[in-house]
């Protein structure tokens, strides 16, 4: 990039040995005085580069498209496909797929396709809420530990180590039996137990960020810790957290399915894919495939999509890092 310079302002005196020499600054308005910095060339911003890298990954694009389809299916689907999901109908028990029930009915006579949508809603909502809770706690916790450092950091991170050594599903099970029921309850329980890994990641990121000049610059200009954390550390650690969110969602959806499968999930009228799989396991040997394969397949697809997207995001964000 050729940079046009105002040569007149860059004087070279007789003594070339000095490398550069000054000409006395003329008096006058500041605007004429200052040599122009040259043109600013519009280059792609980091996020655009990241998107380009992401889009170059075909598998990731397919995963994203599939995920959007699943989200539409779960949330928009019920508007077009009406089904009764609150009153059981013994007459309709375990019907095979038909025109009235596209994917048949389950043992309570609920329409299976509508139930898939309902279960998907709770899975996606809980995935989103739980990962949000986890990422907020984890980011703040990790950023504070990393920035403050010293004894506080040691104490905070040993606490994380201790929590990580507790088998998380058992605790979640105990808590789920106490509070089970709503989507929010389960989200909170899952979120409160999955912020540990993000907190470690963010702390690691902050440890390198805090020695960067722009963080030191913020401190020298008198910015307080809150400002440093929220304006500089967290936005710069965002690349790490965004990638982690996708994995957290996938993990939460799986954990919810597991809870449902062993019977500690959401309470009626809510349902989750785990509940459906748990109920269906007794029927699978009877040849009632529609109760098992659609929900199992959907679960695998959603989790797989989130994981593929997370992987691709990691690569894409790396491009952004290289760009800096």
Partner 1 sequence: MSEPLLSVEGLVVDYQLPRGQLRRALDDVSFNVLAGQTVGLVGESGSGKSTIARAIVGLAPITAGTVTLGGGAAAAPRQSVQMVFQDPYSSLDPTKTIGYSVAEPLRVHHGRELGAQEVRARTEQMLESVGIQASAAKLYPAQFSGGQRQRIAIARALIVKPKLVICDEALSALDLSVQAQIINLLVQLRETHGISYLFISHDLSVVEMLCDEVVVLYRGRIAETGPARAVSNRPRHPYTRGLVAAVPEIDPVARAASRATRERLRKPVAPAPPLEDSCQYRHRCVFATEQCEQSRPALRLTDGPTLVACHRYEEVARDLDEKAESEIPAMTPQS
- Considering the complex, what minimum distance in angstroms separates the CB of residue 2 from partner 1? 11
Compute the distance between CA of residue 203 and CA of residue 209 in angstroms, rounded to an integer. Answer: 10
- Considering the complex, what minimum distance in angstroms separates the CB of residue 98 from partner 1? 55
Which residue is listed with tokens 């710069």?
Answer: 236
Before 300, cis peptide (omega within 30)?
no
- Considering the complex, what minimum distance in angstroms separates the CB of residue 44 from partner 1? 9
- Considering the complex, what minimum distance in angstroms separates the CB of residue 193 from partner 1? 30
Interacting stretch for partner 1, rule CB under 8 A, among 102-110, 168-176, 229-237, 246-254? 229-237
Which residue is listed with tokens 């040259």?
Answer: 38
- Considering the complex, what minimum distance in angstroms separates the CB of residue 12 from partner 1? 8
Position 150 contacts partner 1 (CB under 8 A): no
Compute the distance between CA of residue 248 and CA of residue 243 in angstroms, rounded to an integer. Answer: 9
Compute the distance between CA of residue 190 and CA of residue 55 in angstroms, rounded to an integer. Answer: 32
- Considering the complex, what minimum distance in angstroms separates the CB of residue 3 from partner 1? 6
Task: Between 82 and 324, name the residue whose CB sits nearer to partner 1.
Answer: 324
Site for partner 1 in 183-212 (CB under 8 A): 212
**Which tokens sit at 320?**
């952004």
Position 162 contacts partner 1 (CB under 8 A): no
Site for partner 1 in 58-117 (CB under 8 A): none
Position 151 contacts partner 1 (CB under 8 A): no
Helix (H, G, I), strand (E, B) or coil at 111: strand
105 strand-pairing partners? 111
**Residue 33, burial from CB neighbour count under 10 angstroms (0-12, 13-18, 19+):** exposed
Helix (H, G, I), strand (E, B) or coil at 105: strand
Cβ neighbours of 62 (radius 10 Å): 12
Size, binding site for partner 1 by CB under 8 A? 46
Compute the distance between CA of residue 252 and CA of residue 23 in angstroms, rounded to an integer. Answer: 67
Among 1, 79, 87, 170, the residue binding partner 1 under the rule CB under 8 A is 1
Task: Between 18 and 89, name the residue whose CB sits nearer to partner 1.
Answer: 18
Site for partner 1 in 9-48 (CB under 8 A): 9-10, 16-22, 25, 30-31, 33-38, 40-43, 45-46
Cβ neighbours of 283 (radius 10 Å): 16
Task: Between 31 and 82, name the residue whose CB sits nearer to partner 1.
Answer: 31
Among 101, 115, 210, 232, the residue binding partner 1 under the rule CB under 8 A is 232
């Amino acid at each position: 990039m050729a940079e046009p310079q105002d040569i007149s302002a860059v004087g070279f005196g007789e003594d070339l040995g000095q490398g550069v020499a000054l000409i006395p600054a003329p008096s006058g308005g500041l605007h004429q005085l200052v040599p122009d910095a040259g043109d600013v060339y519009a280059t792609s911003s980091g996020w655009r580069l990241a998107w380009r890298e992401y889009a170059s990954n075909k598998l990731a694009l397919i995963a994203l498209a599939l995920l959007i389809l699943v989200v539409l299916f779960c949330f928009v689907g019920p508007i077009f496909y009406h089904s009764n999901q609150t009153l059981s109908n013994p007459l309709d028990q375990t019907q095979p797929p038909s025109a009235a029930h596209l994917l048949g009915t389950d043992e309570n006579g609920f329409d299976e396709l509508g139930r898939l949508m309902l279960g998907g809603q709770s899975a996606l909502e809980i995935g989103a809420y739980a990962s949000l809770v986890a990422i907020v706690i984890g980011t703040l916790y990790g950023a504070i530990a990393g920035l403050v450092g010293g004894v506080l950091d040691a104490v905070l991170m040993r606490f994380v180590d201790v929590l990580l050594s507790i088998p998380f599903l058992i605790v979640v099970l105990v808590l789920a039996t106490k509070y089970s029921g709503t989507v929010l309850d389960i989200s909170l329980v899952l979120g409160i137990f999955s912020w540990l890994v993000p907190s470690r990641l963010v702390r690691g990121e902050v440890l390198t960020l805090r020695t960067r000049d722009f963080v030191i610059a913020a401190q020298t200009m008198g910015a307080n810790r809150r400002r440093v954390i929220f304006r500089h550390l967290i936005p710069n650690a965002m690349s790490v957290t965004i990638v982690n969110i996708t994995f957290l969602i996938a993990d939460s959806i799986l954990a919810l399915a597991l809870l449902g499968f062993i019977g500690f999930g959401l309470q009626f009228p809510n349902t989750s894919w785990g509940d459906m799989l748990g109920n269906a396991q007794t029927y699978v040997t009877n040849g009632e495939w529609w109760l098992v394969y659609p929900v199992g397949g959907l679960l695998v697809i959603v989790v797989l999509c989130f994981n593929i997207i997370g992987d691709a995001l990691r690569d894409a964000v790396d491009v952004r890092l290289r760009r800096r």
